[in-house]
Structure 1
Amino acid sequence: MIRISSCFVALLVATYSLALPAADFPRRRWMVDDLEARDGGSSTSSTGTATSTATGTSPPAASATTPLISLDPNNPVWDSTFNGPFDAIRGELGATIIGPNNPNIAQENPDLFAPPTTDGGSVPNFKWPMSLSHNRLQTGGWARQQNVDVMPIAKAMAGVNMRLKPGAVRELHWHNTAEWAYVIKGSTQVTSVDQEGRNFISTVGPGDLWYFPPGIPHSLQATGDDPDGTEFLLVFNDGSFSEDNTFMLTDWMAHVPAEVLAKNFQLDVKAFANVPAKELYIFPTDVPADDQPAPESPFGTVPEPFSFALSKVPATQFSGGTAKIVDSTTFKVSTTIAAADVTVEPGAMRELHWHPTEDEWTFFLEGQGRVTLFAGGNNAQTFDFQAGDVAYIPASNGHYVENTGNTTLHFLEIFNTDRFADVSLNQWLALTPPPLVKAHLGFSDETISKLQKVKPVVVGPGLFNNNTKSA
């Protein structure tokens, strides 16, 4: 009975709807007046009319059954100079916070407290400050890490921030993952021997890289070039990587009976009397010589160097900043990790784009900015970033990086792949037939003509600078 009644009511409603006058239906005509107002008086054709070349009639607009986007600004509601009160208010939305509130976190995260109205749905947390990572302190320096334990979304890569005093050594070790490194400050002497007995030694300076393939043993030592020693970023192509579970020389030796060590090396057992009973990890020792050579190997040196002077590679200049790409086409040994070194000037942005098949692990070196991640299905969220923060963008998720500060924003985009690849929204639209773009977005011919067929990569402020306002 319930089903029959429901069908009868639905039939009455449908019949009544068909009898309504046209004025009672949702608006169906093409909103030429709205488009003209939004495009400065021009509609989607150069003559000011919207006609179909096939029929001579007005085609339906994409906006006929949906509202148009708002052109109101959605800047962060406060900047780094604002001292509060930090309330969850954006325009007429939200309310004051009358309970406990951490002002230090609030000041750095305006887009979490009062998100842009363009945010929607649910997106996993994709920000991790290295300042929140537990630090491992040693006599020769320290190390802190980010992996899936603290940032579950970051499944494909993990990172370690490490500091060594002058002469200090990250002991001889190896990993079951590749290790990619960027030197933040100072110089680091790296050594290695590959599976063929070919060895390698190099001093890697600020802005330069090293890379060791999985299973290849190596060491890291701070030189005396900088009185502070060295600090660097390590990236591993496995989100579950932990610096606490690497294969270390002293740890292994401590777990092998002394008589077995003696037999293996064909030495008297007393030769091993000074082997540490536990791992050294990071420990102090003498500063290495600047011109220290590697022992001569009967098999020669590695065919491709494990270091790369990225600091000497000229950056490509764009309207809003610079970019350098480094992958296996230039740093040949780096077959599992590719990267972009990007700078963005105040008010500028790394353009709207996505990476087709690989997740992006981003480390912010200088400045402050924000990223909106578009995850599809009406899911988008905005986070604010400062120097020392990690961002993680899943493959194919659309995003941008906007400089919201007053100084240059500098960051690294890092990928678990041999080749860098991205898709530019601007270039995609510029190389798509204009009628299709017009039908989707209501662009005028003038707007279509300004789309860029060459990727803008880092774009300047243009007509709209990001004048962040304090709440």
Structure 2
Amino acid sequence: MTGKTLLAILKTVFLTGLISWQVQAAQTNDETTTLGPETTQLSADPKIQKLLKDEAQNISAPFPYRINLFTQGQILKNSAGLRIAETANQLSSDNSGLLFYYELVNDAMRVPHWHSNAIEIGTVLSGKVRVTIWEGTGDTKVYTVEQNGTWIIPKAKLHSLENVGQDKLKFLVVYDSPIAADRDFLTAWASLPDAVLARAVGLKESDIASIKKTTVNRLSAFDPAASTFKTDNYSVLSNNFLTTKPLYQSDLGSITRIDPTINPYMKTMAFQRTIMKPQVLRIPHWYTTGDVLLFVARGDAFFTLMDNDGKVFHSVIHSGDLISIPVGNFHSFLNIGNDDLEVYEGFNRVEQINEITLMNGVQHFNIGTIEGATGLSKELITQINQSKIESYMVKF
């Protein structure tokens, strides 16, 4: 099979999935919502095409650690915005966290709420958000987060997210629990008998008759205060990927991580953004701390993962794909598109986030040990040991 033939097959499969998504989207979304994988052209580079041809059978196999959030996630929406959520049981070994995608239209908000058993970290994909948080004591914290910015909400703290920009707000949130336990004012009020509620808020029972009795979180609503907010405020709970010193940066791409070394308030979670140029390989590695949820914000990649049982998965991933990577699972990804690949990784642990690769692993063991374990000659092992410190990325 030629590379052109394979590319045509891959395009057909991809477009078939896109058409089925468009049918579903027509049933669930309105004209203000633009979701799902974009039609993209895979690289025509001969090495990329040969890899895809050689791995065609593996690529077509099921990959239980991946869903496409836009096509397989749970969509909840109203006129003010939408949420696309994954559930932990959709992904193999995802028993430690969640990742959601949100959109809010102009002058809309994510209503005041709290997560009784989860810490929240978020990042703005486009637009500007105002975060209001009260921790039960002291003053209310109010700050703005621009595109590429991040925030953290400690567990059980009351907060809201408002679109105070000129355009639609799009953002990701990651939780360190497989159940976010999302509660808001309306559902809390609705859970109480009228007499108890009236006494609790200092009103008469007749005054609260108009409160809608529902335990369904409406998620989003229009916010009369959003359009009046014009100033920007800074908070120690916020950072920005653009102004944070990258963990790695070169002509091939960059890796930027926000963790306790950058912000001491990131005590239990970390957020990482990776941008890779076309035909660039993220060196195969595994993390020594924390399960990871990886989200593809844009681009296409060849992804490989070996799980706890030693089963190997090779797949092609696209924009909107969400992948669960348990701690210690060996994985890698290669940008096979013509544009930059942008992925976000949420860690549910932050103690010494290190990564081990084949090269740096070999370099830290006795030559004889590696010779016996791999069958490599002493000369080749010595060559590896003398190599310079490995980069996070290489040209494929």
**TM-score class normalised by the smaller sequence:** 0.7 to 0.9
Aligned: 1:182 with 2:123: yes
- Provide the C-alpha distance between the structure 1 equivalents of 2:231 and 2:207, rounded to a whole number of angstroms: 26
Q: Which residue of 1 aligns with 2:185?
A: 249
Q: Is the Cα contact below 8 Å between 1:361 and 1:415 reproduced in 2?
A: yes
Picking from 293, 296, 301, the partner of 1:364 is 296
Q: Which residue of 2 aligns with 1:36?
A: none
Q: Which residue of 1 aligns with 2:6?
A: 78
> Which deviates the most, 261-270 or 183-192?
261-270
Q: Is the Cα contact below 8 Å between 2:144 and 2:232 reproduced in 1?
A: no
Q: What is the root-mean-square deviation in Å for CA atoms of aligned residues?
A: 3.5
Pick closer, same or farther for the CA change 1:208–1:275 going to 2, 3 Å: same
Pick closer, same or farther for the CA change 1:268–1:427 going to 2, 3 Å: same
| Secondary structure in 2 matching 1:312 | coil
Using the TM superposition, give the Cα deviation of residue 267 of structure 1 relative to its aligned residue in structure 2, in angstroms: 3.6
Instruction: Specify every segment of 5 or more residues in structure 1 that has no aligned partner in the other structure, as ranges.
Output: 1-74, 87-100, 295-300, 462-471
Pick closer, same or farther for the CA change 1:443–1:249 going to 2, 3 Å: farther
Using the TM superposition, give the Cα deviation of residue 355 of structure 1 relative to its aligned residue in structure 2, in angstroms: 1.2
Q: Which residue of 2 aligns with 1:428?
A: 361
> Which deviates the most, 418-427 or 429-438?
429-438
Whichever structure has more helix as a proportion of its residues is 2
Q: Which residue of 1 aligns with 2:389?
A: 454
Aligned: 1:411 with 2:352: no
Q: How many residues align?
A: 357
Q: Is the Cα contact below 8 Å between 2:371 and 2:381 reproduced in 1?
A: no
- Provide the C-alpha distance between the structure 1 equivalents of 2:93 and 2:344, rounded to a whole number of angstroms: 18
Q: CA offsets, 1:119-157, max 9 Å, x none?
A: 69x996111101222311212011111122322431111
Q: CA offsets, 1:238-264, max 9 Å, x none?
A: 22x25xx51111111122233323322
Using the TM superposition, give the Cα deviation of residue 320 of structure 1 relative to its aligned residue in structure 2, in angstroms: 2.9
Picking from 302, 307, 310, the partner of 2:241 is 310
Q: CA offsets, 1:362-393, max 9 Å, x none?
A: 01111110211123665211121111110111
Give the fraction of aligned pairs with identical amino acids, expressed as a percent: 18
Instruction: Specify every segment of 5 or more residues in structure 2 that has no aligned partner in the other structure, as ranges.
Output: 20-38, 43-48
Q: How does 1:203-242 map to 2 (within 5 A)?
A: 203-223=144-164, 225-227=165-167, 229-239=168-178, 241=179
Q: Which residue of 2 aligns with 1:192?
A: 133
- Provide the C-alpha distance between the structure 1 equivalents of 2:8 and 2:189, rounded to a whole number of angstroms: 51
Q: Which residue of 2 aligns with 1:260?
A: 196
Using the TM superposition, give the Cα deviation of residue 190 of structure 1 relative to its aligned residue in structure 2, in angstroms: 0.8
- Provide the C-alpha distance between the structure 2 equivalents of 1:254 and 1:292, rounded to a whole number of angstroms: 35
Q: CA offsets, 1:11-46, max 9 Å, x none?
A: xxxxxxxxxxxxxxxxxxxxxxxxxxxxxxxxxxxx
| Secondary structure in 1 matching 2:144 | strand
Q: Is the Cα contact below 8 Å between 1:345 and 1:460 reproduced in 2?
A: no
Pick closer, same or farther for the CA change 1:436–1:172 going to 2, 3 Å: same
Q: Is the Cα contact below 8 Å between 1:341 and 1:411 reproduced in 2?
A: yes
Q: Is the Cα contact below 8 Å between 1:320 and 1:344 reproduced in 2?
A: yes
Pick closer, same or farther for the CA change 1:362–1:437 going to 2, 3 Å: same
Q: Is the Cα contact below 8 Å between 2:74 and 2:86 reproduced in 1?
A: no
| Secondary structure in 2 matching 1:149 | helix
- Provide the C-alpha distance between the structure 1 equivalents of 2:232 and 2:58, rounded to a whole number of angstroms: 56
Using the TM superposition, give the Cα deviation of residue 317 of structure 1 relative to its aligned residue in structure 2, in angstroms: 1.1
- Provide the C-alpha distance between the structure 2 equivalents of 1:350 and 1:327, rounded to a whole number of angstroms: 20
- Provide the C-alpha distance between the structure 1 equivalents of 2:99 and 2:380, rounded to a whole number of angstroms: 45
Q: Is the Cα contact below 8 Å between 1:321 and 1:459 reproduced in 2?
A: no
